[in-house]
Structure formats: C-alpha cells, structure tokens
Amino acid sequence: MVLLPKFDPIQSLQVISQQRVTVFCGSPTMYTCCFQVQSLKSVIYHQLECVSQGRLLYLLMFRKGSYRQGFSCRRIGLTEASPITHCTPIDTSINAIKIGSIGVPLPGTEARIVDLETGDKVLTVGKLGELSVRGPQVMRGHWQRLEETAQVLSDDGWLLTGDIAYVDTQGYFFIVNRKKDLIKYKDYSIYPENLKRFYINTQL
C-alpha cells in the first residue's frame, strides 16, 4: 500500500508506475486529472484496476478511449457501504463490461430500484428510481444523528443511496444522476441535459 500526503496527478501516476500499483481508489475528478497527464498515463493502463465512488466514471473513460487501451474500472460504491457495493464481473471477455454501468451487486449484497417519492415501491427493469442496497457492508447509521439515519436506512437494513438509477434485464445497474440534482416541475422529473441524453442513448 502506497500512501501520499495529498493528491497530485503527476506524482500519483509516477508512484503508480514506479511501484507497480495495481488498484487505485479515486473520484471521477481525480481520474480526469490523471487523463490529462499525457506523458505518463499510457504506461499504467495495462496494470491498473480502478475503484470509484462517483457516478458515470465508465462514460468518462469510454470517451477518453481508455477501454480500448485496456484501462479498467471494476468496482464502485459509497462511503455508507464501506465502500463497495457493485462490481463489473471479472471476465476476460469485453462483453462483461457495459459502458455506463456500475456492474452487478457483490456477492452477499442486494440492490434494487425504488420509487423516488417514498422509497418503498420496488420498480421494474428499465424504470428510473432510487438505488437502494442492503448487505453486511452497509452502515448501522449516522453517528448520533437518528433523524438522518431514519431518512436513509430502513429497519430491515435497506440503504437509500441518493443515486437515481435503473437496472437492465441482465442485472446490470446504471446510475443516471443524484437525487438531490433532480428538478421537480409539476408532474415532470427533469435531469441535467447531458445525463438525460446519456440515459436515453443507453436504454434497454
């Protein structure tokens, strides 16, 4: 394990290359910074597996051509789930990777899409709703914040992630937006235009 005092894209990529680091945890912003270091990024694509806690990293990497160069991002999660919930199946076939998807739930982890209003109704394949997860890695609650805990964690252990997502017929989950970014106008749900277009283009 290699620890750095702060994130610097050039230093990070140098360390990854020199120390032959195989797993890197970061946010999409950090990966974007790394992609901009043209002189170093190509040397790590063959060895580095990425973990992200932000949405649409797959789409970002696809636009940068990273999949074609062997760069992989297999796991994604959130802090409240310490932190991994979904993973792209480890497979030598490129068919295991679906662009834009966070993958399938880890073994022992359950995931479902529920309605945005109450979080109680489980939605069917292809329907947009809030991603909810349950498993041994999910937190027991926010420290000394009972009201906040009650808003996101049910009595039977289901955590509302705040991510607007859908699941396809093969069980792959796709995050479209954050719930707090959703604009409600009358009976309409409005998403930022780029994410809305991405959702439409990647439908079942």
Mean pLDDT of 13-32: 82
98-121 pLDDT tens trace: 777 888 999 999 999 999 989 999
Sign of CA dihedral 138, 141, 142, 148: positive
The answer to whether 180 and 167 have CB atoms below 8 angstroms apart is no
3 state SS of 166: strand
Whole-number Å distance between alpha carbons of 181 and 15: 36
How far apart are the C-alpha atoms of 22 and 202, rounded to whole Å?
30
Q: In angstroms, rounded to a whole number, what is the distance separating the alpha carbons of residues 124 and 168?
A: 9
Mean pLDDT of 171-193: 71
CA dist 103 and 83 (Å) reads 15
**For residue 178, what pLDDT is reported?**
79
Are the CB atoms for 156 and 129 separated by under 8 Å? no
The closest alpha carbon to 110, from 136, 88, 130, belongs to 136
Residues 74 and 88: their CA atoms lie apart, in Å, by 5
User: Each residue of 76-86: pLDDT tens digit?
Assistant: 778 899 888 98
Domains and CATH numbers, the chain: 9-201 (3.40.50.12780)
Q: How far is CA 20 from the centre of its chain?
A: 25
pLDDT per position as a tens digit, 45-74: 555 777 766 555 545 554 444 444 445 556
- Percentage of the chain with pLDDT > 90? 36
Helix-, strand-, coil-residue percentages of the chain, each rounded to 5: 30, 30, 45
